[in-house]
Amino acid sequence: MTKFDEATGAVRVDESTYDVCLDPGYSIGGPLNGGYLMAVLLRAVVDASPHEHPVTTGAHFLRAAEPGPARVRLEHLKAGRTVATTRATLVRDGVAFVEALVTTATLSGAAPDWTDVPSVVMPPVERCLRLPAPEPGSNMAFGAQVELAFDPPTIGWLGGAPTGRPEARAYFRMAEPQDPDPYVLALAVDALPPVIFSAGARGWAPTVDLTWHLRALPAPGLLTLLGGGRLIGDGWFDEEVEVWDSSGRLVAQSRQLARVGRG
């Protein structure tokens, strides 16, 4: 079992309740990363489901969650032969932090009938750049849990040269060696810096809603994350992410709506 497996573990209390302990290692400036919180919820949902894989997840982030003990409460809405649907809520002291609707199924791993190609061609990983390591004692602990190698233009904002477009692209893997699985993909779809940084904005950009789809079981190796946005306005922006595995297969897609941060 990896550290990520432990950090996302869910212990069954009864058929609709799981105990969890939210790990401080996935915090970004204090609050916990949304992809990490989804992975925690999905551990409980899949454990209670007759099916093996979370194929679609729609999560609403009601308030920022911080590390510590919490519970996942499940409401089983449907359990059929091919899919099951569950409402999952992350709660602490009776207060809900994340509410998600999850559909599970069992993917076969068969080759696709048809597939598109990546929307952007990434440079070789050796030509990509990494963000500076967090300072000792920093509350940006998330960066130590994953390895991201960025397409250089998309982190030009670090040096005061944003591209002017909402975009972010990087190779991704866990810092501790681990083959990607659906829970790692839940983390990956929310692992990029907010795409609005590349458009010139800075500051915390809280996610309000994030929906993602598991399209295939990933092959071992690096994942490629391709992120972009379509509209920034009225204090809101959208972010879409494609996740491609080492075999060149599309394995996850996401879309989120978030608030424009204040630097």
Overall size of the chain counted in residues: 263
Looking at residue 180, its amino acid is: P
Collapsing DSSP states into helix, strand and coil, what is residue 255? strand
Q: Is residue 115 part of a domain?
A: no
pLDDT given at position 102:
98
pLDDT given at position 262:
66
Q: Output DSSP code: residue 52.
A: S
Long-range CB pairs of 10-16, under 8 A, 24+ apart, other chains included = 10/40, 10/43, 10/44, 10/47, 10/72, 12/44, 12/47, 12/48, 13/71, 15/48, 15/74, 15/76, 16/48, 16/73, 16/74, 16/75, 16/76
Question: What pTM, to 2 d.p., does this model score?
Answer: 0.96
Does 231 score more than 60 pLDDT? yes
Give me the mean pLDDT over the 6-26 stretch. 97
> pLDDT tens digit string along 220-230?
999 999 999 99
Alpha carbon distance 132, 103 (integer Å): 37
pLDDT given at position 139:
74
Question: What CATH number is attached to the domain comprising 248?
Answer: 2.40.160.210
| Beta-carbon count within 10 A of 206 CB | 15
> pLDDT tens digit string along 162-201?
999 999 999 999 999 999 999 999 999 999 999 999 999 9
Give me the mean pLDDT over the 212-218 stretch. 98
Q: Is residue 113 part of a domain?
A: no
What is the total count of domains within the chain?
A: 1
Structural domain boundaries, residue 70: 3-106+126-259
Does 57 score more than 70 pLDDT? yes
| Paired strand residues for 27 | 32
Split at pLDDT 50, 70, 90, the class of 104 is very high
Q: Is residue 231 part of a domain?
A: yes
Q: Is residue 46 part of a domain?
A: yes
Split at pLDDT 50, 70, 90, the class of 203 is confident
Tell me what percent of the residues of the chain surpass a pLDDT of 70. 98
